[in-house]
Amino acid sequence: MKSFKKLALLLTLILALTALAACGSSEGGDSESDSSSEGENTSSEEGSSEELSGTVQVAGSSTVYPMAVYIAEQYQKEQPEVNVTVDSIGSGGGFKKSTKGEIDLSNASREIKEEEKKIAEENGINLHPLELAYDGLTVAVNPNADFIDKLTVSQLKEIFLADSGKTKWSDINSEWPDEEIKIYAPGHDSGTFDYFNEAILEENSMREDSGVTLSEDDNTLVQGIKNDEYSIGFFGYAYYAENKDSLKALGIQDGEDAEAVKPSPETIQDGSYTPLSRPLYTYIVESALEKPQVLDYTLYTLNNAGEAAQEVSYVALPDEKYQEQIDKVKEMAPSE
């Protein structure tokens, strides 16, 4: 009888301990679940794991295009439900759309013009510039053009100026071939065209005769120079860097006593490649920041512009410059 009582007491004790353990396990499980839920909410508030959807429309400069495509591709790996479109239609083409509010971001290789600002104001659109990188507008010739390695700014102007009357290489230098200069240049909607027109031609008209090919597609210009021994053209440094084995970049001499300088990441960054170094932009339609995916994409662009610039052979800005612009975008964004 005593043994039975001892056994019963032992079983009761075991059952009690089992129930207590189960209770503790249940409470611990609830605690773990609450902790996990709290962590997810915190992460979502920081925006690091929030999934977004919708569209982001980007268009404009063919020079900025390689950077823009790289950024868009990387972004969509993190936000696959956001559809980012990037179109290369020239800086002017981008401003035609952004000043009407038809796109979210307008890529540009020049600053917005006063007449474009006026159109935006008439349409109630506020465009804010964001600087992405530095570029060196590259003057290139066919690699077989052994007779030339550099040009003065004055010679460059003579080659491209409409009323210079100099259409052959021998017109520029009597020791050069008596061959027609074939020109491959960006079209009028291109910010690169505008920049060259201002920096080199001083707002005078460029040649546009039968020996000139204009295109908004920089790859068309590259191919033209590759296939024509007596050609010359200009475009963003990234397109030269991608094709440097089949193009020759010319040194530019800015002043009679100056040395000719060829474009490179170093000469673009230190400013010695003059007068063809310039900043690259994207202009944000400020009202588009009301869309969460556009705000997120804009911040992502600024956070990754330095990497993108280096990836496509442009020159990144100092980190503090990107941070200043990130802070500005956050200020412009509507408060929740």
Q: What is the pLDDT of residues 55-93, one digit of tens each?
A: 999 999 999 999 999 999 999 999 999 999 999 999 999
Flag whether pLDDT at 20 surpasses 50.
no
Beta bridge partners of 55: 83
**Residue 39 resides in a domain:** no
| 204 shares a domain with 106 | no
pLDDT tens-digit series, residues 290-329? 999 999 999 999 999 999 999 999 999 999 999 999 999 9
| 260 shares a domain with 185 | yes
**Residue 259 resides in a domain:** yes
Which of 253, 275, 297 is the endpoint of a domain? Answer: 275
Query: Higher-confidence residue: 227 or 3?
Result: 227
CA angle 148, 151, 153 (to 5 degrees): 165
- Residues 59 and 131: beta-carbon distance below 8 Å: no
| 215 shares a domain with 142 | yes
**Residue 26 resides in a domain:** no
How far apart are the C-alpha atoms of 105 and 128, rounded to whole Å?
A: 10
Of 23-37, 67-81, 106-120, 139-153, which range is least confident?
A: 23-37
Convert 57-66 to b/e letters by CB count within 10 Å (16 or more is b).
bbbbbbbbbb
**Residue 9 resides in a domain:** no
**Residue 210 resides in a domain:** yes
How far apart are the C-alpha atoms of 62 and 195, rounded to whole Å?
A: 13
User: Tokens 């509010």, residue?
Assistant: 101
Look at residue 221 and give its three-state secondary structure. helix
| 271 shares a domain with 174 | yes
Flag whether pLDDT at 32 surpasses 80.
no
Rounded to the nearest 5°, which phi and psi values hold at 101?
Answer: 75, 25
Could you tell me the two tokens for 182?
Answer: 């074939």
C-alpha torsion sign, points 89, 93, 95, 101: negative
How far apart are the C-alpha atoms of 123 and 99, rounded to whole Å?
A: 7
**Residue 5 resides in a domain:** no
| 221 shares a domain with 309 | no
CATH code, 271: 3.40.190.10
**Residue 7 resides in a domain:** no
- Work out how many domains the chain is built from and give that number: 2
What is the mean predicted confidence (pLDDT) over 144-173?
97
| 227 shares a domain with 146 | yes
Give the pLDDT of residue 152: 97
| 239 shares a domain with 117 | no
Flag whether pLDDT at 167 surpasses 60.
yes
CA angle 294, 300, 301 (to 5 degrees): 90
**Residue 72 resides in a domain:** yes
Torsion from C-alpha of 42, 44, 46, 50, nearest 10 degrees: 160
Question: Which of 298, 327, 289 has the alpha carbon at shortest distance from 101?
Answer: 289
Q: What is the CA radius of gyration of the chain?
A: 30
Give the pLDDT of residue 269: 87
Residue 69 structural domain: 54-134+279-332
Give the pLDDT of residue 10: 40
| 84 shares a domain with 111 | yes
